[in-house]
Chain A
Amino acid sequence: MSEMVAPVLFAERAGDPSGTPSRLLSRLFGGLVAGVVAIVAVFAWIVVSRENAAGRAELQVHLKQTGTLVAELLAPTLASGDSAAVARMADVARPLGLRITVVAVDGRVLADSSADAAKMENHLDRPEIRAALRTGVGEARRASATTGEHQLYYAVAVVRDGALHGVLRIAGSDADLAPREASLLHTLEAGLTALVIAVLCMGFVFMRGIEQKFRREKDLLVERHRLYEELKANEAALVTKERRLSEAQDIARLGSWTWDVRTNAVTWSDSLYRMFDIEPGTIAPTFDTYMSFVHPDELTFISDALGEALRSKEPFEYDQRIVRRDGTVRVVHARGEVLTDADGTPTMLVGTALDVTERALAEDAQRRSEERFQLAMRATNDALWDWVPGTNVIWLSDAFYTLFGHRRAEMMLTFDARIALMHPEDREAVAARVDDFLRSDAAVLTCEYRIRRADGAYAWVSDRAYAVRDGQNQPLRMIGSMMDITVRKAADRMKSDFVSFVSHQLRTPLSGMNWMLELASEASGLPDEARSYIAEARESAERLGGLVNDLLDVSRLESGRLVLTLEDVHLEAVTRSVIDEARALIAERGHRITVESRNPSASVHVDAQLMRQAIANLVSNAIKYTPAGGTIQVIITRENGQQQWTVIDSGIGIPKPAQAQLFDKFFRADNAVAMVTEGTGLGLHLVRLIVEQFGGTVWCDSEEGQGTKFSFAVPVAEVV
Chain B
Amino acid sequence: MTERKKSILLVEDDRFLRRACEVSLTRLGFEVTSANDGEEGLRLATSEPFDLILLDLLMPKKPGIEVLAELRAAGPPNANVPVMILSNSSREEDKRRVVGLGAIGYYVKANLSLKALGDEIQKLFS
Contacts and interface: CB of A to CB of B under 8 A. Distances in A.
B104 to A, nearest CB: 18
B111 A515 contact: no
A562 interface: yes
A644 interface: no
Contacts, number: 59
A375 interface: no
Contacts of B21: 515
Interface stretch (B31-39, B44-52, B70-78, B88-96): B88-96
Contacts of B89: 504
B126 interface: no
Interface residues of A, number: 20
A602 to B, nearest CB: 27
Interface in A518-577: 518-519, 545, 548-549, 552, 556, 562-563
B101 interface: no
A419 interface: no
Nearest to B112: A511
Contacts of B58: 504
Nearest to A500: B91
A226 B73 CA distance: 124
Interface in A69-126: none
Interface residues of B, number: 22
Interface in A489-527: 500, 504, 507-512, 514-516, 518-519
A552 B20 CA distance: 25
A608 B7 CA distance: 35
Contact of A510 (B20, B24, B91, B110): B110
A319 to B, nearest CB: 73
Given A507-B88, A552-B90, A563-B92, A545 B20 contact: no
Interface string B83-125: 0000011111100000000000000111111110000000000
B17 A511 contact: yes
Contact of B108 (A507, A512, A519): A507
Contact of A519 (B14, B24, B109, B110): B24
Given A510-B110, A514-B113, A519 B88 contact: no
Nearest to B24: A519
A518 B116 CA distance: 11
Contacts of B108: 507
Interface in A610-656: none
A514 B116 CA distance: 12
Nearest to B19: A516
Nearest to B58: A504
A511 B23 contact: no
A531 B70 CA distance: 44
A606 to B, nearest CB: 16
A507 B109 contact: yes
Contact of A511 (B88, B90, B115): B88
A545 B24 CA distance: 21
A513 to B, nearest CB: 8
Given A518-B20, A518-B115, A511 B110 contact: yes
A545 B90 contact: no
Contacts of B92: 562-563
A556 B23 CA distance: 35
A508 B14 contact: yes
Contact of A515 (B20, B88, B91, B93): B20
A229 B114 CA distance: 121
Given A504-B58, A508-B14, A519 B23 contact: yes
Contacts of B16: 509, 512, 515-516
A600 B16 CA distance: 47
A518 B87 CA distance: 18
A98 B19 CA distance: 200
Interface string A425-436: 000000000000
Contact of A518 (B90, B93, B110, B114): B114
A504 B20 contact: no
A545 B23 contact: no
Contacts of A552: 90
Contacts of A562: 92
A165 B118 CA distance: 208
A514 B86 CA distance: 14
A519 B90 contact: no
A563 B99 CA distance: 15
A519 B114 contact: yes
A556 B89 CA distance: 12
B111 to A, nearest CB: 7
A697 to B, nearest CB: 26
Contacts of B88: 504, 507-508, 511
A512 B58 CA distance: 15
A56 B120 CA distance: 181
Nearest to A538: B113
Contacts of B112: 511
Nearest to B23: A519
A517 to B, nearest CB: 9
Contacts of A508: 14, 17, 88, 109-110
Interface string B36-68: 000000000000000000000010000000000
A518 B16 CA distance: 12
Contacts of B24: 515, 518-519
29 contacts: A504-B88, A504-B90, A507-B109, A507-B110, A508-B14, A508-B88, A508-B109, A508-B110, A509-B14, A510-B110, A511-B88, A511-B110, A512-B16, A515-B17, A515-B20, A515-B21, A515-B113, A515-B114, A516-B16, A518-B24, A518-B115, A519-B23, A519-B24, A545-B110, A545-B111, A549-B90, A549-B110, A556-B90, A563-B93
The 3 closest A-B pairs by CB, nearest first: A512-B16, A515-B20, A507-B88
Given A514-B113, A515-B16, A518-B20, 18 more contacts: A504-B90, A508-B14, A508-B17, A509-B16, A511-B14, A511-B112, A512-B16, A515-B21, A515-B113, A515-B114, A518-B24, A518-B114, A545-B110, A545-B111, A548-B110, A549-B110, A552-B90, A556-B90
